[in-house]
Structure 1
Amino acid sequence: ERVEYLFLIIFTVEAFLKVIAYGLLFHPNAYLRNGWNLLDFIIVVVGLFSAILEQATKADGGNSIGGKGAGFDVKALRAFRVLRPLRLVSGVPSLQVVLNSIIKAMVPLLHIALLVLFVIIIYAIIGLELFMGKMHKTCYHVQGGLMDTPAEDDPSPCAPQSAHGRQCQNGTECKAGWEGPKHGITNFDNFAFAMLTVFQCITMEGWTDVLYWMQDAMGYELPWVYFVSLVIFGSFFVLNLVLGVLSGEFSKEREKAKARGDFQKLREKQQLEEDLKGYLDWITQAEDIDPENEDEGMDEEKPRNMSMPTSETESVNTDNVPGADIEGENCGSLSEKNFSFSNFSSRYWRRWNRFCRRKCRAAVKSNVFYWLVIFLVFLNTLTIASEHYNQPDWLTEVQDTANKVLLALFTAEMLLKMYSLGLQAYFVSLFNRFDCFIVCGGILETILVETKIMSPLGISVLRCVRLLRIFKITRYWNSLSNLVASLLNSVRSIASLLLLLFLFIIIFSLLGMQLFGGKFNFDEMQTRRSTFDNFPQSLLTVFQILTGEDWNSVMYDGIMAYGGPSFPGMLVCIYFIILFICGNYILLNVFLAIAVDNLADAESLTSAQKEEEEEKERKKLARTASPEKKQEIEKTAVEEETKEEKIELKSITADGESPPATKINVDDYQPNENEEKSPYPTTEAPAEEDEEEPEMPVGPRPRPMSELHLKEKAVPMPDASAFFIFSPNNRFRVHCHRIVNDNIFTNLILFFILLSSISLAAEDPVRHLSFRNQILGNADYVFTSIFTLEIILKMTAYGAFLHKGSFCRNYFNILDLLVVSVSLISFGIQSSAINVVKILRVLRVLRPLRAINRAKGLKHVVQCVFVAIRTIGNIVIVTTLLQFMFACIGVQLFKGKLYSCTDSSKQTAAECRGYYITYKDGEVNQPMIQPRSWENSKFDFDNVLTAMMALFTVSTFEGWPELLYRSIDSHMEDVGPIYNHRVEISIFFIIYIIIIAFFMMNIFVGFVIVTFQEQGEQEYKNCELDKNQRQCVEYALKARPLRRYIPKNQYQYKVWYVVNSTYFEYLMFVLILLNTICLAMQHYGQSCMFKEAMNILNMLFTGLFTVEMVLKLIAFKPK
């Protein structure tokens, strides 16, 4: 408490001094005009206010009877102290960038929040209508003393005999009276419960349980449509808009901060230049004023300079100095000899040192040394990776020796580099700094392990990062190094975000402790791990909710701690919803925003480097080429430029975007006009008429929309023959080309693909010879025939595969051919017993993929995915390496430590034998005898491969708290768990989740986003206009004048006037709102009278909306 008061005094003094320095409020740049200062001021004022109130309360408490404080309860105000860490924001600029981008995004995020709320309200009302009261029926015993308790250990909803759904078995009956799953919290009994259940489904945590409960209660027909549409629309679509908003705002804020920094640097530079100019002017003026003194000064300086020694080895001559005797002379000559000898030896040493350093530098920079170090790193990696549980003693000895030898070698390498390059040059390289850190860490770890202060941590595994240097010799090095550089550049933003995340977690942990501390013990038979009983545990629980794993179970425990699903208990869900939205949807999406921003930087850097290299190559060629060749190169360069200009011009004019105000030959438009008439080449091409066409001036006025939407260009027929018999001019081939390029033919094939996909889905997999399967089999013959005919026509039109532009030169066409060939082969071999036929029939599921080649948008998406997969290799390499490193550390920490006995009272495998007694639900009357068994965790760290698998499951967030708490309880090898034995181990999992799951996994998503953006921009590569200009031009061209319909009939006009008035709109809005409230008022167990009243109100609203429809029909006419 005293320390608390000390800090409060310091912060108060700081605020007071700042107010005196900057002024309080009423002028620009005053203390309270800055938002962060205002935050500091509020925190200090609240702290002072709570301290004064606390003292006053204590004084009142002392005076009151029994000593109990009768004053104001300051606990809520004291909770404000948790905001004090936010004062860090005012001192960290990069943290301000992250916070500012989140604050700026609040307005668009509010719009998204309203949209999400709208979706939740609609689905909650639909859920009320469909599922109200369906969760309260389960199976009960028909007779005996257990008629009031559910028949199953884990009850689940059921359906009556007459209805679809889960039927009760073994003498049990489906009856109402059960509270419902999850203590009756998850249901659609009233609007509040329905909204909570819908929100839980949108977060995709536990939504499948709700779906299956509904299917048990109602059957399979309806619930899946409701829940699948909710997840697709609510979760996949609407909530991902949050990412788009945050990404845009972060990018803008970073650009602003960068521009601000550049402007500051420019101002400083200008200031320096002005100062320097001032000094130069002053010096020149001084020189102009006093030229004589300058000459005198120079004359005076000459003899002084003459008397000084001219080199290091030359000593000052004292022979001519008056008063120097013979002894002095002798002493002088002796000292001269000694000095010259020492100088000679030091010079010799320097020369020898320089020679050694030169040789060492050459050795260090040689390829042999490079590969030797890489080989040693590889050996080090193998040594670490070979460690596993129950390994033989000789292997342990070999590993220990190898680790020490390798550590010595890497230390020698570091010292050699430091000596050869010099400390300053050594520490310039980031890799060298990293090496130094690992070597020092390894030495420290070895000393601590040898002195038995700590167990090995595996710090040397970090050396594996050096394996990335192998890629230096590959062509991927540039893009990989740019990726790593962009990741390192984002470290500052990531560090600020982590700091913000940490502050956020601390605030909610402290608040959670205030609300739920010691209250999760309502079930005596079950020990809960995700609690708020102490600060470390509270931090872990909040972090778990942030990752989204099992957050709904923690919320259910919170509700039960406050008395279950009734009035006070249900208010608890507000804490969890705010925590989940702010943490999971806002803060964690900023990780992705940062990743996208930095990946875009890395990509642009790589492309810039490629262009630079191409330019260098071109210059090199031009330098080395002969004069004739030079001219040729220059000519081709000029041709390329003019070609690019033409392409730009064509793309601008053909797309209907701002054409330049110059005269363009109509030839540029000719292909488009031909396309409009006929997409097929004709034999009589009127070349002479083209030349006689007059020049057409193109002004800034846009052309009509009909000219803008040009027909998509048909794929031209190749010049080569098809099947060696059909020439390009063959009528049959031309006719085939015309058919396959016809829109009707393409749409028809798409329709047949859709039908064949539906027929595949409709097959009965159990009864192969059923009537339905026979009909579908005949339909399959028809579809395969149509698809075969399509491929024959296309091969006739384009040729098979020998020439460029032929059918099989396109990957999508090869996919088509594969699918059709599979169908034909499976028809040829009828016996379904042959495994090959089964596989071939399974391959028919690829048939829907044939739609890709025929839908342009879908084709673009697939191409982007393939481009992303092709270029995503760098990220896979970095992520796999990080995963491997964490797995090695995990093996060091947890190998053989995750075993436990089913009887928790036994701690070793030797003790864990025989049988033990357990009691069902803590009832002493229901004992059960079970065998003891010594079992390992489902996911373990016994070797590197299983450790990588375990960590991969952690990175998906699915079930990771179970592994976390198992690891926290781990004690020693082959010894059972001890409750909360090593809480500090959770740091390993938290760091792993932050680096891999929050950041590296988001890099994958970011890479796909960046690829999509680049591919989208690809078609405008040669266009001079930027994206915003193109959008502006497109908007201007597509703009249409608004037409307002006004009826001529005077009675109709009166109705139209009323319908169009603002008052009418407001009235209808109020009616819709009242109708929504009316629908939301329904609840389970409502009285008959209430139900009747609701029915009457609904009928009244339906009547009013019918009147509105009739009035609008009269006003606007049906068409």
Structure 2
Amino acid sequence: MSLRRETVSTFNIIVWLEVLNLFLALLLASFGSNVLSEREKEDDDNKIGEAIDRIQRCIRFIFRLIFRAFCRKKRKKIKIIESITNETIYLNQSLAGTDDLINNIPCSTSINIDNKKIKPNGLLVLTNEAIEPIEDIEMKSLNNNNNPTSPTILSYDQILQMPPDCCPRIISKHVGRFKYIVPESIQQKWTYLRSKAHRLVEHRFFEWLIIASILASSTTLALEDINTRQQPKYYSILHSFDQLFTIIFTAELVLKWFAYGIKNYFTNGWNWLDFLIVVVSVLGSLLDGLGVADIPAFKSMRTLRALRPLKALSRFEGIRVVVNALIGAIPSIFNVLLVCLVFWLIFSIMGVQLFGGKFYKCVYHDTHDRVNISENVTNKIDCLNKNFTWENSRVNFDNVVNGYLALFQVATFKGWIEIMADATDAKDIDVQPAQESNVYRLVYFVLFIILGSFFTLNLFIGVVIDNFNQQKRKLGSGGSIEMFMTDDQKKYYNAMKKMGNKKPTKALPRPRFPIARFFFDLTTNQKFDIFIMMCIFLNMLCMCLEYHNQSRIHERILGYINNFFVAIFTIECGMKLIALHYKYFTIPWNVFDFIIVIASILGQVLGEIMANYFVNPTLLRVVRVARVGRVLRLVKGAKGIRTLLFALAVSMPALFNIGLLLFLVMFIYSIFGMSFFAYVRKAAGVTEIFNFETFPNSLIILFQMCTTAGWSGVLQALTNDRPPDCDPTLKLPSHRGDCGSMAIAIPFLVSYLIISSLVVVNMYIAVILENFSQAQEDVQQVNKN
């Protein structure tokens, strides 16, 4: 058995290293310049159609322009001015013409109406002829307007801040019939309140309040762990905060409806997301108020509160730009998923035909290990007669859905050795498996790994990069990397690119003082740089010679060698300081060298002091870590490494935004995990550290699974739903004892792996490849110049 597993492992390593890299290279090449060149040819063929379309749009634009020029005066009277009597005119308080009023007043320093120039901060009076300016008149409050015949006076800023229609046009059309029945004062108060609400929701302090509420609400969700539920007072406080945040988010929703209008509110996709989150929160609070929130049928509704951190998507620009870029890749990602489903469906059906019902085996009741050959068990009847357990493997091919799950484990190379072992050992239905009874079935898994894993899963990388290439063509010279940056981050990105392309325009002056001139000539000599690089390399080799439990003599010799190199680097730093004076610190690499030298000296001094005064040896090792910084000085002389580091530095804003999105995904799944699997019995991949009992532990296990490491063990623990693996009769808040749920665990883990590992993590690869390619192009361009 051990020999068979070693052979399989060796085969796995060879295939994974060779074939995977080959397929990845082919996919990236296919999604590279060839695809773009083919699409450029297609674009050339469509230029005639685009030209005709532009001509047609130009003709339609000219006709609209002529129509507007002849009908402007008439439309102004119809849309802006509403005559009620011959002497006075009032603003339509039903807001039917507010949008037209706002759109017809340009935002400029002044406006011309009937050859009269009006300042923006002036006052406007609506009369039956035109908009006339009124100067030196105090604006009366709309609430205190007691004269029904006096004109309504509005400032220019207030006209621009007039809120849009509250309801859709169909509703406003019918409601507008009652404007003559409703008193004028009520209509004016309604408009006044809506304008104030609009000013409130647009104020930056209101936005900060909502952001603070989102962060505080997310914190309360993270604190509701297995320990909090055992403390009723603490849990009641968190519950009160949860109700408070529900009220705040509901009030925000109502204010925005009141300010923007229901129609305009739902024209924004981010507002739809906020609306759904508020609805879920309100329903959860209603269920709590009715006392039915703990019923298993309604508990899932309360669990949906975990979606509340998604409100951060519309507030934090860094996450929002990444999501917007990702939305553009959704069609391509969906196509890849469809291809995977089609490929995997074929293999799943084949797996059902080959292995359906054949993964059952006779096991010991306590350990779940397969019974020994000495027990002489050949089929299911013998197993039951001898009081053993006839048990099926957790991952099997009994149906197409189970086959998909088994293939997903094989494609991610986690837990697939056990699946392949069950397949090669299986004989027939209700027959006890025997070791390697059908070795030829390995061909099935080899074909699936090549076609279903190396090819289809790696298409995700190709699709993401291809989508970025398309966006790059649309954005122009900025590149696709700017899709993941905010405006401020784009400024940092452009500044870094300019700094990388910039060459020194003025050489350092040669000092006049003889000693300084000597050190200047010495330190600027290329041979001196080579000597320093050799010292750095030798120092790195000496640091690699340290090992655990080394002899006293060996430790002393390495200490002398280290002191020698510290002295050389200190002398180098001193000579450059004498030669360059204060200009030494104008060169970034010199500042870096100076910091490394100071850290090395402090490490030596503090190391000796700690060793003499019997300080904890752990602190001594931490201080000596500063010596590792000397290795980084090799970067100064390695041009290729500098290019890589420059690409990484330029990528930092985009990588930071993608990291925020990944953290948000992990945060939401952590809340879901604590709600569903906090009390699951520890087994397989769920341990004392890797579990869903607390928020930090949930983040750790999810971070582990975003690399696809150990997720098969976590799946095994979360799908333990019957004795003896768990006890569903335990009285715990989960209503399932310490059992998991296969119906919840499988969608939970599979969806998380697709989002985090196959999509978000691949975005890191795409961003770094894009910046590295851009950095190489910039270096080549600088060298040509």
Q: Using structure 1 for the length normalisation, give the TM-score.
A: 0.48
Listed one character per residue, the Cα deviations across residues 349-396 of structure 1 (whole Å, up to 9, x for unaligned) are 655544443333223223343233334333432332221214223444
Q: Hey, what does 1:739 align to over in structure 2?
A: 522
Which shows bigger deviation, 813-822 or 844-853? 813-822
| One-letter code aligned to 1:765 | H
Q: Residues 245, 739 of structure 1: CA spacing in aligned structure 2 closer, same or farther, 3 A cutoff?
A: same
Listed one character per residue, the Cα deviations across residues 776-802 of structure 1 (whole Å, up to 9, x for unaligned) are 455445444444443333333333x56
Superposed, which structure 2 residues align to 1:678-689 within 5 Å? none
Superposed, which structure 2 residues align to 1:545-624 within 5 Å? 545-561=410-426, 569-596=438-465, 597-598=467-468, 603-604=481-482
Listed one character per residue, the Cα deviations across residues 875-923 of structure 1 (whole Å, up to 9, x for unaligned) are 22222222111111111112223358x9xxxxxxxxxxxxxxxxxxxxx
Q: Hey, what does 1:241 align to over in structure 2?
A: 25
* Matched-pair contact (CA < 8 Å) for 2:484–2:654: no
Unaligned regions of 5+ residues in structure 1, if any? 1-179, 188-195, 205-230, 281-309, 315-339, 472-476, 615-643, 652-712, 720-726, 903-934, 1024-1029, 1035-1119
Give, in angstroms, the shift of residue 402 of structure 1. Answer: 4.5
* Matched-pair contact (CA < 8 Å) for 1:247–1:592: no
Q: Hey, what does 1:1017 align to over in structure 2?
A: 777
SS of residue matched to 1:588: coil
Unaligned regions of 5+ residues in structure 2, if any? 65-80, 86-175, 364-368, 371-391, 428-432, 473-478, 493-497, 722-727
Q: Percent identity?
A: 20
Q: Residues 523, 245 of structure 1: CA spacing in aligned structure 2 closer, same or farther, 3 A cutoff?
A: farther
Listed one character per residue, the Cα deviations across residues 448-490 of structure 1 (whole Å, up to 9, x for unaligned) are 785543323522222212235554xxxxx4x554333212222
Listed one character per residue, the Cα deviations across residues 513-549 of structure 1 (whole Å, up to 9, x for unaligned) are 2222222235643463222223332222112222221
Q: Residues 366, 532 of structure 1: CA spacing in aligned structure 2 closer, same or farther, 3 A cutoff?
A: same
Give, in angstroms, the shift of residue 432 of structure 1. Answer: 0.5
Q: Hey, what does 1:266 align to over in structure 2?
A: 50
| One-letter code aligned to 1:957 | T
Q: Hey, what does 2:599 align to over in structure 1?
A: 818
* Matched-pair contact (CA < 8 Å) for 2:325–2:483: no
| One-letter code aligned to 2:307 | L
SS of residue matched to 1:377: helix
| One-letter code aligned to 1:989 | L
* Matched-pair contact (CA < 8 Å) for 1:894–1:941: yes
Q: Residues 763, 462 of structure 1: CA spacing in aligned structure 2 closer, same or farther, 3 A cutoff?
A: closer
Superposed, which structure 2 residues align to 1:181-192 within 5 Å? 181=2, 184-187=4-7
| One-letter code aligned to 2:6 | T
Q: Hey, what does 1:418 align to over in structure 2?
A: 257
* Matched-pair contact (CA < 8 Å) for 2:670–2:692: yes
| One-letter code aligned to 1:884 | F
| One-letter code aligned to 1:186 | E
Q: Hey, what does 2:308 align to over in structure 1?
A: 463
In structure 1, what is the Cα distance between the partners aligned to 2:589 and 2:348?
62
Give, in angstroms, the shift of residue 181 of structure 1. Answer: 1.6
In structure 2, what is the Cα distance between the partners aligned to 1:1008 and 1:817?
33
In structure 1, what is the Cα distance between the partners aligned to 2:544 and 2:464?
40
| One-letter code aligned to 2:418 | S
Give, in angstroms, the shift of residue 572 of structure 1. Answer: 2.2
Listed one character per residue, the Cα deviations across residues 246-276 of structure 1 (whole Å, up to 9, x for unaligned) are 5427963995699599869837835855997
* Matched-pair contact (CA < 8 Å) for 2:485–2:654: no
* Matched-pair contact (CA < 8 Å) for 1:559–1:570: yes
| One-letter code aligned to 2:32 | G
SS of residue matched to 1:344: coil
Q: Residues 440, 841 of structure 1: CA spacing in aligned structure 2 closer, same or farther, 3 A cutoff?
A: closer
Superposed, which structure 2 residues align to 1:704-853 within 5 Å? 718-719=508-509, 728-770=511-553, 772-773=554-555, 775-799=557-581, 804-805=585-586, 809-815=590-596, 818-819=599-600, 822=603, 831=612, 834=615, 835=617, 837-853=620-636
| One-letter code aligned to 1:181 | S
In structure 1, what is the Cα distance between the partners aligned to 2:566 and 2:61?
85
1:884 aligns with 2:667: yes
Superposed, which structure 2 residues align to 1:33-182 within 5 Å? 181=2
Listed one character per residue, the Cα deviations across residues 208-240 of structure 1 (whole Å, up to 9, x for unaligned) are xxxxxxxxxxxxxxxxxxxxxxx6xx5996565
Report the number of matched residues: 613
Listed one character per residue, the Cα deviations across residues 556-600 of structure 1 (whole Å, up to 9, x for unaligned) are 33223368887x834322322332233433333333344444496
Q: Hey, what does 1:440 align to over in structure 2?
A: 279
**1:484 pairs with 323, 340, 345, which one?**
323
| One-letter code aligned to 1:357 | R
In structure 1, what is the Cα distance between the partners aligned to 2:35 and 2:360?
46
Give, in angstroms, the shift of residue 804 of structure 1. Answer: 4.9
In structure 2, what is the Cα distance between the partners aligned to 1:538 and 1:592?
25
In structure 2, what is the Cα distance between the partners aligned to 1:960 and 1:362?
50
| One-letter code aligned to 1:863 | F
Q: Hey, what does 1:946 align to over in structure 2?
A: 697
* Matched-pair contact (CA < 8 Å) for 1:501–1:587: yes
**1:960 pairs with 700, 711, 714, which one?**
711
SS of residue matched to 2:635: helix
Q: Hey, what does 2:298 align to over in structure 1?
A: 454
Give, in angstroms, the shift of residue 994 of structure 1. Answer: 1.4
Q: Hey, what does 1:331 align to over in structure 2?
A: none
What's the C-alpha RMSD, in Å, of the aligned pairs? 4.7
Q: Hey, what does 1:366 align to over in structure 2?
A: 203
In structure 2, what is the Cα distance between the partners aligned to 1:249 and 1:968?
46
Give, in angstroms, the shift of residue 744 of structure 1. Answer: 3.2
* Matched-pair contact (CA < 8 Å) for 1:794–1:807: no
In structure 2, what is the Cα distance between the partners aligned to 1:503 and 1:844?
55
Q: Residues 807, 886 of structure 1: CA spacing in aligned structure 2 closer, same or farther, 3 A cutoff?
A: closer
Listed one character per residue, the Cα deviations across residues 591-635 of structure 1 (whole Å, up to 9, x for unaligned) are 334444449655335789679999xxxxxxxxxxxxxxxxxxxxx
Give, in angstroms, the shift of residue 943 of structure 1. Answer: 2.2
* Matched-pair contact (CA < 8 Å) for 1:896–1:973: no
Give, in angstroms, the shift of residue 774 of structure 1. Answer: 5.2
Q: Residues 981, 267 of structure 1: CA spacing in aligned structure 2 closer, same or farther, 3 A cutoff?
A: same
Q: Hey, what does 1:381 align to over in structure 2?
A: 218
* Matched-pair contact (CA < 8 Å) for 2:20–2:454: no
In structure 1, what is the Cα distance between the partners aligned to 2:753 and 2:45?
33
| One-letter code aligned to 1:542 | L
In structure 1, what is the Cα distance between the partners aligned to 2:341 and 2:669?
22
* Matched-pair contact (CA < 8 Å) for 1:832–1:838: no
| One-letter code aligned to 1:996 | S
SS of residue matched to 2:458: helix
In structure 1, what is the Cα distance between the partners aligned to 2:199 and 2:588?
57
Superposed, which structure 2 residues align to 1:273-672 within 5 Å? 344-346=180-182, 348=184, 353-390=190-227, 391=229, 392-404=231-243, 406-444=245-283, 452=295, 453-456=297-300, 457-468=302-313, 471=316, 477=317, 480-521=319-360, 524=363, 525-526=369-370, 528-561=393-426, 569-596=438-465, 597-598=467-468, 603-604=481-482
SS of residue matched to 1:992: helix
**1:1005 pairs with 729, 744, 765, which one?**
765
Q: Residues 498, 953 of structure 1: CA spacing in aligned structure 2 closer, same or farther, 3 A cutoff?
A: same
1:854 aligns with 2:637: yes
Q: Residues 979, 512 of structure 1: CA spacing in aligned structure 2 closer, same or farther, 3 A cutoff?
A: farther
In structure 2, what is the Cα distance between the partners aligned to 1:254 and 1:609?
33
Greater Rg by CA: 1
SS of residue matched to 1:604: helix
Q: Residues 543, 426 of structure 1: CA spacing in aligned structure 2 closer, same or farther, 3 A cutoff?
A: same
In structure 1, what is the Cα distance between the partners aligned to 2:546 and 2:24?
36
In structure 2, what is the Cα distance between the partners aligned to 1:963 and 1:409?
37
* Matched-pair contact (CA < 8 Å) for 1:486–1:602: no
In structure 1, what is the Cα distance between the partners aligned to 2:741 and 2:307?
27
Listed one character per residue, the Cα deviations across residues 934-977 of structure 1 (whole Å, up to 9, x for unaligned) are x9765221222222222122212111122122222255764887
Listed one character per residue, the Cα deviations across residues 319-366 of structure 1 (whole Å, up to 9, x for unaligned) are xxxxxxxxxxxxxxxxxxxxx997631584655544443333223223
* Matched-pair contact (CA < 8 Å) for 1:388–1:943: yes
